[in-house]
Amino acid sequence: MRVIILPFLVYSFIFDFTLAAYVLFLLAIGTDFLDGYIARKMNSGTKFGAYFDATVDFIFIIGMFRIFVTAGLYPYWVLPLMLFAFVQFMITSSLYKEIYDPIGKYYGSLLYGAIGLTLLFSGQLFYDVITVSIVAVTVASLCSRLAYLFHSKARIHHASFAIRKEAQLTKGGDLRRT
């Protein structure tokens, strides 16, 4: 539903239909929460559904920020930054079954919030604060995800080392008893 709402929201923003933009944005957020809630309640969440939801979120967020960049509210480089964050999320999520990334978990919510605040407020100082926030949370999320990945690899390496050592001790212990 968010992808369907997006062009109407963009139109409302460009032509300064403020109330329509607010209503459409709230409808987009509502459908995002609703589909997630229904999937959890009905226990019908799938890996495809999770990736599809993340992709739709990305399309919606990048679409709105593209319009904001075009309007001169944000610097152009926020778009590749968001693209990089999305791509690393998709790659690392596909490589590992579950990644605990407390910051990344709320990254999309932060960007949705930034869209909502941009629709509500104006002023360059305000846009600069949002830009700095986006950069800070993007960097923190990437660091959090990388730290988890390195910690997981170290834990796996340590566990395999312990298993090999235990096997050697067991083998050596059996030799001494005979």
Distance of alpha carbon 137 from alpha carbon 18, whole angstroms: 28
Rounded average pLDDT over 165-174: 58
Q: What is the pLDDT of residues 15-34, one digit of tens each?
A: 999 999 999 999 999 988 88
Distance of alpha carbon 41 from alpha carbon 53, whole angstroms: 16
Q: What is the pLDDT of residues 92-150, one digit of tens each?
A: 777 766 655 556 668 888 999 999 999 999 999 999 999 999 999 888 888 887 777 77
The full set of domain ranges for the chain reads 2-177
The pLDDT-based confidence of 91 (bands split at 50, 70, 90) is confident
Q: How many CA atoms lie within 13 A of 78 on its CB side?
A: 27
Start-to-end CA span in the chain (Å): 71
Cα 92 from chain centroid?
11
Distance of alpha carbon 68 from alpha carbon 61, whole angstroms: 11
Q: Contact at 8 Å (CB) between 10 and 64?
A: yes
CATH class of 2-177: mainly alpha
Q: What's the Rg (C-alpha) of the chain? A: 22
Smallest Cα–Cα separation from 50: which of 13, 4, 105, 119? Answer: 105
pTM beyond cutoff 0.75:
yes
Token pair, residue 143, equals 């660091």
The contacts of residue 7 (CB under 8 Å, 6+ apart) are: none
Comparing 88 with 152, which gets the higher pLDDT? 88
Q: What is 146-168 written as a DSSP string?
A: HHHHHHHHHHHHHHHHHHHHHHH
